[in-house]
Chain A
Amino acid sequence: MNFSALQSAMAQHGYMASDDLAVALHLAVSLERPILLEGAAGVGKTEVARVLSAVHNTQLIRLQCYEGLDASQAIYEWNYQRQLLAIRSSGEAGETGSQIEKRLFSEEFLLERPLLAAIRHHKPPVLLIDEIDRADEEFEAYLLEILADFQITIPELGTLKALSKPMVVLTANGTRDLSDALRRRCLYTYVDYPDRRTELAILQARCPDIEANLAQQVIGFVQKLRREDLEKTPGIAETLDFAAALMGLGIADLTADPAVLQASLTTLLKTQTDQANITTEVAQRLAGQAA
């Protein structure tokens, strides 16, 4: 499979990837390297992983990072409750101490968390490590170890080697700086807001029922809106919501009814300041330019 095949396969699943992104993904898969996607919220970084798993017809394992994420939630944990119960019941069944111990620390009592689960598949899954910049630096260091060797050491069990190397997609949107070490291990792509043509294609793929005229207007409007001075620039998901809202309201022309347009802006503008800044007049001007 070359990169344009990947690109068109992704397009079939409703994702319009730029050439840079498609080549980077193709390389990541062929070289078995993790890929780091950076970009503003709402440009479709997470979606890349979902579509990649659909294209390769494999499972998507997702690890959502947050502050305070630790090994027991990301890698594995012993099922203490079951172990305690097993101890009690084994006493009654007459098992010897060493027998119990052997049984307690077997895979039967191991709770697989996403990172461990990802390396225990025969068919390589897509491992999505979402918003890695939200996790602590300590976790990042731990992750490096796993991404380098694809093996996990559990003291009681030994080292578990990867049955197959998962395709790893990391996403970040700049909550904090990532370490150089992590950046170096990964291929890197910056995902930007799509241009007019791409966004139109996305809209038509996701909302096939939309009228061509309205689709043009919606995209023109959102593209213009992104250039305004906003606290939170609307992403692609917002565009799709906006289009869905307009379609739901039965609007065929953006400039037709200022009040309805203003009301449907709640799908695009997500802070109070932004809503105050984009007044009915501004919205009308933008809609007029887009039409």
Chain B
Amino acid sequence: MSRITRFSGRDPGPAARMSGFLTHLRENGLRLGVGETELALAGLTCIKAARVTETRSALKAICSGCKEDIERFDDLFAAYWMNDGRVRTKITTSQAQSSFTGASSSNKTGSDQSDKAGTPEAPKNCEEEAESDGIGKLIASKTSNLKRTDLRNLIQPEDVIKAEKIAEKLGQALKDRRSRRRRAASKGDRLHFRKIIRKSLASGGEPINLVHKKRPDRRKKIAAICDVSGSMTIYARVFLAFLMGLMRNDPKTDAYLFHTRLVRISEAMRDKDAFRALTRMSLMADGFGGGSKIGASLDRYQRSYAKHFVDGRTVVLILSDGYDTGPQDHLAMALAKLKKRGCKIIWLNPLKSWREYQPIANGMAMALPYIDIFKAAGTLEDLAALETELTFL
């Protein structure tokens, strides 16, 4: 869902409109700086800017930075430049006070009403429609605001700090398995004399090429997949804080949320500002607290992201209660395929701490053979207790 911003008829010229467009993109989560505005304007001089398709392709190349951006760009472009936004302000011919529809009137920020029509560069129909302020926030954006606050309330800063400490310990238990052997390397702590002598033969005994050796690092990466469906809501607070901790501890960690579909949140979590990270995350996590399709989500994971990020040195951490609304065998099949990539799979199930818990939830029982460690985890203390287990992995 894209937020709609309109350019204002008051804008003095194309530069202002372009910066308005960039602001619009920024508000929709694209990461753009001032330089891009400049570049976008420069770019338009190289093409026939009057042709919409050409302009769209050009701005797409300049403003997007990843595949997801590309997929959303056409809608964002249309929402700003074209006349087909979902909410329209009423067209007024009077120059005193433009009237608003109920939806946007409460959001009016710019109070100075200008009687100037836009510059000739603007498409005419847009000018008339855009007499309201340029940064209209409409109903759609309000709902996402509400969701955002929800997620913020879920995670407390002190939890994150605590989780970060635990995650650090877990991370250390997992990573940095140095090999005992030393291998020839261009940079290393010791000289590889055998090779040096052998190579020096060619140069009459002069050791020209110095070869070093070192212990290769065998790092483990973590890919954490967290269930945020309705049944997990009470644990979500702990788990999200834990993910955050993992992420901040080791930036190579990969993090995902799923409910009925899978969302990658690594990029958002990597944000240095913890609260901005949450904001970005909540923008992506609509459907938070809904039903859960574990099998389908994991299947999508092993089909897409896992292909690039999961290898023999990866630990896949699944945080879920195993209640699946999809077909039973989906989960086991997805895990089997994931396991084939050589990774270790750890499943942390908050329900397992119940005394009489049996893994009979749909699919959970069938998934057990593919799981290396199946543990209880409902609180941060439980997570901390995992450290010893992980050392032996």
Interface residues of A (CB under 8 A from B): 2-3, 19-20, 22-24, 26-28, 30-31, 33, 35, 38, 68, 70, 80-81, 84, 174-177, 180, 183-184, 187-190
Contact = CB atoms under 8 A, between A and B. Distances in A.
A31 B46 contact: yes
A184 B36 contact: yes
Given A19-B53, A20-B57, A184-B35, A26 B47 contact: yes
A95 B389 CA distance: 68
Given A31-B42, A84-B208, A180-B31, A2 B47 contact: yes
Which 8 A-B pairs give the minimum distances between C-beta atoms?
A24-B61, A23-B57, A183-B65, A30-B46, A187-B61, A20-B57, A190-B70, A174-B308
Contact of A188 (B33, B46, B48, B64): B64
Contact of A3 (B54, B62, B69): B54
Given A23-B54, A188-B64, 4 more contacts: A24-B57, A38-B66, A68-B186, A176-B309
A19 B43 CA distance: 16
Given A19-B57, A23-B54, A190-B70, A184 B33 contact: yes
A26 B55 CA distance: 12
Nearest to B48: A2
B72 to A, nearest CB: 12
Nearest to B340: A273
B35 A27 contact: no
B203 interface: yes
Contact of B58 (A27, A35, A38, A180): A27
B267 interface: yes
A84 B31 CA distance: 51
Contacts of B65: 180, 183-184, 188
B105 to A, nearest CB: 37
Nearest to A80: B208
B152 interface: no
6 contacts: A19-B54, A23-B61, A84-B203, A177-B267, A184-B36, A188-B64
B293 to A, nearest CB: 18
Contacts of B31: 180, 184
Nearest to B36: A184
B88 interface: no
B74 to A, nearest CB: 10
Interface of B: 31-33, 35-36, 39, 42-43, 46-48, 53-54, 57-58, 60-62, 64-67, 69-70, 186, 203, 206, 208-209, 266-267, 308-309
A28 B39 CA distance: 11
A5 B66 CA distance: 27
A30 B208 CA distance: 46
B335 to A, nearest CB: 16
B39 A31 contact: yes
Nearest to A28: B61
B332 to A, nearest CB: 17
A6 B208 CA distance: 50
B164 to A, nearest CB: 22
B81 to A, nearest CB: 16
B289 to A, nearest CB: 28
Give the most central of A20, A27, A28, A189: most B CB within 10 Å: A27
B64 A23 contact: no
Given A23-B61, A27-B43, A30-B46, A188 B35 contact: no
Nearest to A72: B186
Give the most central of A2, A22, A28, A187: most B CB within 10 Å: A187
A92 B108 CA distance: 86
B255 to A, nearest CB: 12
Nearest to A186: B65
B207 to A, nearest CB: 10
Contacts of B47: 2-3, 23, 26-27
Nearest to A185: B35
Contacts of A180: 31, 65
Contacts of B53: 19
